[in-house]
Amino acid sequence: MKATSPSLETNRWLRPSAVIAVAQLLGTSLWFSANSAAPDLAISWNITASDIGWLTSAVQAGFIAGTLILAIFGLADRYPASRVFALSTALGAVFNGLFALAAHGLGDAMAYRFLVGLSLAGIYPLGMKLIVSWEPARTGMALAQLVAMLTLGTALPHLLRELGAGLPWQSVVLASSALAVAGGLMILKLGDGPFLPARRPRDAADSAAAPARLNVLSAFKVRKFRASAWGYFGHMWELYAFWTVVPVLVARTDLASFLPFTGIPGISFAVIAVGALGCILGGLVSRRHGSAPVALGALCLSGLSGAIFALSWHALPAAAMMALLILWGASVVADSPQFSALSARNCPPEIVGSALAIQNSIGFAITVVSIALTTSVLEKIGLDAAWVLVPGPVIGLLGYVLTARTIHD
């Protein structure tokens, strides 16, 4: 087994998990690049908030298709994760650029966003596998850093839109493509870590292809894996629908007038980006108390935040509303790395890439439903649509506790 590079071990800023996390930040800026342009698209293409939801759902659908391909054919475990990651960032950058330059309406825009989602399937799950391959002893904290960067990557287009308020929306989208390519080059230089079983030769892998396709489902036979998957699925119902509607929630409150020094994109960036801090704090707490209590605590807190928002959005003063959205934004994603760490720890190591990919695939299939439902209800009844998000945390908590029968790792 090869050792990690001494320079990576001695320089805290260059340790593999930091490199992977930054590359994840840059690569996942592709995810919500279209949402940052929502006001411009609404004017240019005459589309509604519900249509923006469909653009996000197209990315999710592409991601689902990509993760299913990775899981069914075992690609996540048959090829070097670093090369798959780098190739995926390049493809995603191209499709994102085509969305900016070649799309002229909702139909072709959805096609390009689907292909962006397909590419993201080689970025997010492979980033998790790279973390496990480099630093298995600190998976909870390392995955917390990774998801923190995913969160910042999600928020980044809103910041770019705020900073480039006078620029065409296409410039912001193309900036995301450039960042993604940079992230892919970082991972290509880093390479794969030494702490996973060696990949099988291609001929051996091909001869065992049929059993391998079935083995990925064997992870669900492990009770602890099923428990963490339940929690993850409930969390996913809420997370991406919340991220999708944050600009609409901000626009339909008094926050823009309460914070006149920034616009809707700036406030949206703050609400989403604070989730990175939630992930890091959760990772630090998990080192002492374990991943499960952190994951369940964050899931409970985000569910309560959603319920309080739904009950009192019409009565809260602007300062209290901003505080509530910050709390919601911090907690809504803090459970994600801990559920993923539990899943990675509790599935057979030889299929960890495929198991995480299939969990992602199911989780993102759930987001397609929740995004479509939330944006549709929001269009009809306004901010009371926040109630649609609350069942996710409730089901995730019940599913985990009833399956695992304990909150300890």
Kindly report, residue by residue over 90-101, the tens digit of the pLDDT: 999 999 999 999
Q: How confident is the model at residue 4 (pLDDT cuts 50, 70, 90)?
A: very low
- Compute CA distances 254 → 104, 122, 250, 259, 346, whole Å: 33, 39, 8, 9, 46
Average pLDDT over residues 109-120: 95
Which residues, 6+ apart, have CB-to-CB distance to 24 below 8 Å? 123, 124, 127, 146, 149, 150, 153, 183
User: Mind listing the domains of the chain with CATH numbers?
Assistant: 6-204+220-404 (1.20.1250.20)
Mean of the per-residue pLDDT values for the chain?
A: 84
Look at residue 1 in the predicted model and tell me its pLDDT: 39
Quick: pLDDT tens for 64-88.
999 888 877 877 678 888 999 999 9
CB crowding 19-47: b at 16 or more within 10 Å, else e: bbbbbbbbbbbbbbbbbbbbbebeeeeeb
- Which helix (H) or strand (E) segment is 312 a member of? helix 291-312
Quick: pLDDT tens for 205-261.
444 444 444 466 777 888 888 999 999 999 999 999 999 899 889 988 888 788 877
Average pLDDT over residues 318-341: 93
Whether pTM > 0.85 for this model: the answer is no
Q: Which tops the pLDDT comparison, 406 or 171?
A: 171
Q: How confident is the model at residue 199 (pLDDT cuts 50, 70, 90)?
A: low
Average pLDDT over residues 308-316: 94
Look at residue 179 in the predicted model and tell me its pLDDT: 93
CA-based nearest residue to 193, from 116, 112, 137: 137
- Which tokens sit at 92? 């995603």
CA-based nearest residue to 128, from 279, 350, 341: 341
The sign one gets for the Cα dihedral 36, 41, 46, 47 is negative
Q: Which tops the pLDDT comparison, 247 or 303?
A: 303
- Which tokens sit at 86? 């780098």
Q: How confident is the model at residue 408 (pLDDT cuts 50, 70, 90)?
A: low
Look at residue 3 in the predicted model and tell me its pLDDT: 40
CB crowding 287-304: b at 16 or more within 10 Å, else e: eeebbbbbbbbbbbbbbe
Average pLDDT over residues 319-329: 95
Average pLDDT over residues 343-355: 77
Look at residue 188 in the predicted model and tell me its pLDDT: 92
Look at residue 186 in the predicted model and tell me its pLDDT: 94
Quick: pLDDT tens for 17-46.
889 989 988 998 898 888 777 778 888 888
Look at residue 205 in the predicted model and tell me its pLDDT: 45
Average pLDDT over residues 143-163: 83
Place of tokens 């904290």: 141
Average pLDDT over residues 1-28: 66
Which residues, 6+ apart, have CB-to-CB distance to 349 below 8 Å? 196, 197
CA-based nearest residue to 30, from 184, 241, 179: 179
Look at residue 198 in the predicted model and tell me its pLDDT: 53
Percent of the chain with pLDDT over 70: 88
Distance CA 328, CA 325 (A): 5
Look at residue 317 in the predicted model and tell me its pLDDT: 92
* Lowest-confidence segment of 172-176, 186-190, 193-197 by average pLDDT: 193-197
- Which tokens sit at 87? 């190739």
Q: Give yes or no for residue 63 having a pLDDT over 80.
A: yes
Look at residue 69 in the predicted model and tell me its pLDDT: 86
Average pLDDT over residues 295-308: 96
User: What letter does residue 123 receive in the DSSP assignment?
Assistant: T
Q: How confident is the model at residue 14 (pLDDT cuts 50, 70, 90)?
A: low
Q: Give yes or no for residue 161 having a pLDDT over 80.
A: no
Phi, psi (deg, nearest 5) at residue 348: -55, 130
Look at residue 128 in the predicted model and tell me its pLDDT: 81
Identity of residue 169: W
Look at residue 359 in the predicted model and tell me its pLDDT: 87
Look at residue 207 in the predicted model and tell me its pLDDT: 46
Which residues, 6+ apart, have CB-to-CB distance to 279 below 8 Å? 144, 145, 147, 148, 151, 333, 334, 336, 337
